[in-house]
Structure 1
Amino acid sequence: MKIAIFGATGRVGSKVLEMVVHEGWEVHALIRDRSRTPFDSEAVQWYIGDATSPELVDQVIKGCDLVFSGLNTDKTDTLSQAIPLIIHSMQKHQISRIVTIGTAGILDSRYEEGKYRFQTSESKRKSTFAAEEHLTVYQTLKNTDLRWTIICPTYLPDGEEQGNVRHEMNVLPEEGKKITVGDTARFAFHTLLYDQFVHNRVGICY
């Protein structure tokens, strides 16, 4: 299995990278700074640059079987710029499967029909910029023929795996407060490994 990973030095992406290498997969990983590579492995081919470069995105995806994106917003529009490039390249190379990390803000509200969580009092964040960027990813993916899944953790502190993760399709499980980076990465890896939750957002928490 060969996987393209975007955001491979991020908090979740770096842990997913470790897991897929341990599983024996080959990796094409895009990073912005070669000095930030989390480890060296013969299984990983590093690409240096930005996810908003069409040529570079295509190089990363070419020859892979599936795609994982752990890209975050970093207060920029990288997500909304990168996702059309990733989709175009996947379609060009006839790759159908993509798993991304989103945010619980783009899950459906439990209490206000027709709204996303970030549009309601269910979300505690004052700024909606990140949620709007992730919403663009969701809206763009759902209008394709790709086999997509968006994993949507709530509050995401650093931390190792604790287990007992709860999940629910398209909404956040009730009383969900947080989930660690370690458990989010493990959930993402299992989603890739077992090809789960196709065409769904998945809310995850403890």
Structure 2
Amino acid sequence: MKLTVFGATGGIGQEIVRQALVAGHEVTAVVRDPARLTVTGTNLEVFRADLTVPEAVRPAVAGRDAVLSGLGARSRKDAGVATRLTRTVLRAMEMEEVRRLLVVTAGPVGPESEGDGMLDRAARSLISALLKDVYDDLREMEAELARSATDWTVVRPPRLQDKPLTGTYRTVVGGFPRRGRFIGRADVAHAMLTMVGDPGTVKQGVGVAY
């Protein structure tokens, strides 16, 4: 497949690029600073673009089978960036009539697992309060996706870890894994690539966790 990855220099984004190349896909990595992308490969195109201008992004998505995005705020002071930059991606995709889009948000943005106990619920409430601005941004980003013409999937992980790829994790379409507290960035990337061709995840939020 021909894939475009936004946020390709982030923890999840670089893993998406790396795993996609290993799987034999053609990958376009959209970056602001090419020096921060450590992944290399013969099927990799590095595309430097201003992510505030849809017209500048159009060539990066033209003719692609799917677009995957790891765009998001790295801290509270960056709240709002996920929605703003995703709007650019959506406009560019709509101009080029590219439909498949997968993005990362966060577990607390979606529904709680019905099997969670009091401790898990309390921890979720605390984290949601501490990162309210960031999660509000992600909710608005999800709302933008829902209003778009794309075949979107929202992937919602819990606390992220830097761990090697395992390929073993739980996913719940429209919900969240019971007591799902952690997942490695590499496994989030693996889940996203797996979902690209899964019609059951289209226009759905998918919780993913160990």
Does the alignment reach a TM-score above 0.5? yes
Letter of the structure 1 residue corresponding to residue 46 of structure 2? W
Identity within the alignment, %: 23
- Cα distance, 1:49 vs. partner? 3.6
Indicate if the aligned counterparts of 1:33 and 1:49 stay in contact, CA closer than 8 A: no
Deviation at 1:193, TM superposition (A): 4.5
Report the counterpart of residue 12 of structure 2 in structure 1: 12
Q: Give the count of matched residue pairs.
A: 199
- Worse-matched range after superposition: 150-159 or 193-202: 193-202
**Secondary structure, counterpart of 1:172 in structure 2:** coil
Listed as ranges, the gaps of 5+ residues in structure 1 are: 112-119
Verify the 8 A CA contact 2:14 2:39 in the aligned structure 1: no
CA deviation profile, 1:121-149 (whole Å, cap 9, x unmatched): 63331121221111111111111231110
Work out the CA distance in 1 between the residues paired with 2:49 and 2:109: 28
The within-5 A match list for 1:62-141 is 62-75=62-75, 76=78, 77-110=80-113, 122-125=124-127, 126-141=130-145
Q: Deviations over 1:73-102 (max 9, x none)?
A: 123222111122211111111111001111
SS in 2 for 1:74: coil
The CA RMSD over aligned residues, in Å, is 2.0
More helix, by proportion: 2
- The residue type paired with residue 56 of structure 1 is A
> CA 1:54/1:145 → structure 2, altered by over 3 Å: closer, same or farther?
closer
Mapping 1:165-176, distance limit 5 Å: 165-176=169-180
Q: Indicate yes or no: 2:47 matched with 1:44.
A: no
Secondary structure, in 3 states, of the residue corresponding to 1:123? helix
Residues 1:190 and 2:183 aligned together: no
Give the Å deviation of 1:185.
Answer: 1.3
Q: Distance in 1 between matches of 2:167 and 2:44?
A: 28
Q: One-letter code of the match for 1:29? A: A
Residues 50 and 124 (structure 1 numbering): CA distance in 2 closer, same or farther, change over 3 Å?
Answer: farther
Contact 2:155–2:192 at 8 Å: present in 1 too?
A: yes
Inter-CA distance 162–21: structure 2 relative to 1 (3 Å threshold): closer
TM-score after normalising by structure 2: 0.86
Cα distance change, pair 155–123 in 1 and its aligned pair in 2 (3 A):
farther
Q: CA deviation at 1:194?
A: 4.1
1:156 Cα deviation after fit:
0.7
Counterpart of 2:41, as a letter, is: S
Secondary structure in structure 1 of the residue aligned to 2:5:
strand
Amino acid at match of 1:104: G
TM-score, normalisation: structure 1:
0.87
Instruction: Tell me the distance in 1 between the aligned counterparts of 2:46 and 2:11.
Output: 17
Question: The residue matched to 1:28 in structure 2 has which SS?
Answer: strand
Instruction: Note if contact 2:17-2:39 (Cα within 8 Å) is conserved in structure 1.
Output: no
- Runs of at least 4 residues off by over 6 Å: none
